[in-house]
Amino acid sequence: MSKRLAANHILWLTMVVMLLAAFWMKPMLRRLFPIPFAREIAAAAEANALDPFLVAALVRVESGFNPRAVSSRGARGLMQVMPDTGQWIAAQMGWTAFDPELLFDPELNLRMGTWYLRALLEQFDGRPAVALAAYNAGRTRVQEWLVQGRWDGREETLADIPFPETRNHVRRVLTTLDTYRWLYDGSFEQVSPDLNRM
Residues in CB range of 116: below 8 A, 6 or more apart: 79, 81, 85, 89, 135
Q: Give the pLDDT of residue 28.
A: 80
**Nearest Cα to Cα of residue 112 among 138, 134, 80:** 80
Q: What are the strands, taking DSSP E only, across 15-105?
A: none
Neighbours of 6 (CB within 10 A): 10
Is the CB of residue 89 less than 8 Å from the CB of residue 100? no
Q: What's the CA gap between 113 and 101, in Å, rounded?
A: 15
> pLDDT in tens for each of the 198 residues of the chain?
566 555 555 766 666 656 655 666 778 888 888 999 999 999 999 999 999 999 999 999 999 999 999 999 999 999 999 999 999 999 999 998 899 999 999 999 999 999 999 999 999 999 999 999 999 999 999 999 999 999 999 999 999 999 999 999 999 999 999 999 999 988 998 887 654 444
> Please, which residues have CB within 8 angstroms of residue 20's CB and are 6 or more apart in sequence?
none
- Per-position DSSP letters for 20-45, written without gaps between them: HHHHHHHHHHHHHS--TTHHHHHHHH
pLDDT at 11: 66
Contacts of residues 150-157 at CB distance under 8 Å and 24 or more positions apart, as own/partner, are 153/124, 153/127, 153/129, 154/129, 155/128, 155/129
Task: Report the pLDDT value the prediction gives residue 6, as an integer from 0 to 100.
Answer: 57
The residues annotated with a catalytic role in the active site are 62
Q: What is the pLDDT of residue 30?
A: 84
As beta bridge partners, residue 81 has: 76
The model carries a pTM of: 0.85
